Structure 1
């Protein structure tokens, strides 16, 4: 692994995890604002938006404990080729769990959903989302990869993250920033996703994984790796990667936990 190993932070439950995640998010936010007066973050779906809401909508405990939503630019680490109000939409899920609940006085983030006029052509859908990233990250310059301030990801029970699945040819994609997938082993089959080089190029990567149903795959990710997408991210990002988990998700996993300061 480059440098050091990923940080594994384990908590008794989600209620204990959320304040630590909030603190981490504020640190990443402030670093992003120092770099370029914006906080560019990509999020995935699953159970992540609900945990994010618990962390981000909590009452601040001090002047420093401030979420500056009006400085946030939220992109999607992956998205399903469905309308934005569809039950499978990651945008729709984030809107329901978090965005609709942000009090007006806290400011509103800038959201970058997919362009739904291209739902019938996943390649074009991916190309258009990549153009959006180019406009945001390149601004006329030639850059090899976009550098997100933070990627907020989950882990599937098979070790997938974003819409990057174990053993899928898409794991070998090195040119595209955003790629289509037509044969996702998890429904719905048609999606777009950030590619592995984009994910591993981020300043910081944070995974949130909770529940006893995750412990077998967590054991495999942290003990064997086996080329699982989550393990590939760990290996490529090292200490830039942090895992926020509950104890149930890492029961029996032999990997050193770190105390969260």
Structure 2
């Protein structure tokens, strides 16, 4: 029987950040117990800033502290631009999170794109898939890599990663990483995790805040049409493994039940 995603809505940013931190730390601790490594895929947008705010808060104990030395960070999608380009998700994550980790803390292992393939996004996607293969074991022994945590955003059209509504890429079932040559949102050339990978995480977290998100959240959670959008498809495939972190401005008018605590 299909399970429903978790929708959390908070009245103030502090509560959202605290709960997002608890969600990430819980995923980390469970992962380290399982296999002593924490594999995370992250997207761009407003996520890196909020993620940085959440994770750089002072912990109260070892169990409440990021063990960054055991983190492996991958990108759920990336733009075919240099790593220091203003459109680069890696630059965003670096500036908003990685560069702010205190000197006395360990640093995560991060896997950016190989920029020598900027002019060949098919090859860039293939190379990034090989990077995943190395971390997740041999390609023929793992049908779909299962990240310990995937952190995503939701576009105003319901896109997630760089999977856009109506794209034929949504039908891909084999590849782990896909090239995009004509993204409807610039820049046009990108790579993205495929839908099976993006919906296969042990835990999946979405960040969607502000009044600008209320129409799309209403559609995703309350309408049949919204279930077919990329974010809606992740909800459908992953069910209770998905948790949405939103605020009251974004959930205004949404009928789907929300909670204010984990």
> TM-score, normalising length from structure 1?
0.97
Q: Does 1:164 align with 2:142?
A: no
Q: Which residue of 1 aligns with 2:256?
A: 255
Counterpart in the other structure of 1:46: 45
Q: Give the total of aligned pairs.
A: 260
Structure 1: unaligned runs, 5 residues or longer: none
Hey, which bits of structure 1, 4+ residues long, moved more than 6 A? Answer: none
Q: CA RMSD in A?
A: 1.2
Indicate conservation of the 8 Å contact 1:70/1:110, yes or no: yes
Q: Is the 8 A contact 1:225 1:231 kept in 2?
A: no
Task: Say whether 1:61 aligns with 2:55.
Answer: no
Q: Which whole-Å CA distance do the structure 2 matches of 1:99 and 1:90 have between them? A: 12
Q: Do the aligned residues in 1 keep the contact of 2:10 with 2:260 (CA within 8 Å)?
A: no
Q: Which residue of 2 aligns with 1:144?
A: 143
Query: Contact conserved, 1:14 with 1:51, CA < 8 A, in 2?
Result: no
Q: Quote the Cα distance in structure 2 between the aligned partners of 1:77 and 1:231.
A: 17
- Offset, 1:141: 6.0
Deviation of 1:244 (Å):
0.5
Q: Output the CA distance in 2 between the equivalents of 1:106 and 1:6.
A: 34
| Residues 29 and 63, structure 2, Cα contact 8 Å, conserved in 1 | no
2:63 match: secondary structure? coil
**Structure 2 alignment gaps of length 5 or more:** none
Residue 36 of structure 1 and its aligned partner are, at CA, apart by 1.0
* CA deviation string 1:18-55 (max 9, x = no partner): 00000110100011111111000000000000110110
1:119-143 deviation line (CA, Å, top 9, x unaligned): 1000000000000000100157621
CA contact (8 A) 2:8 2:245 kept: yes
Rounded Cα–Cα distance in structure 2 between residues aligned with 1:121 and 1:139: 24
Q: Name the structure 1 match of 2:182.
A: 183
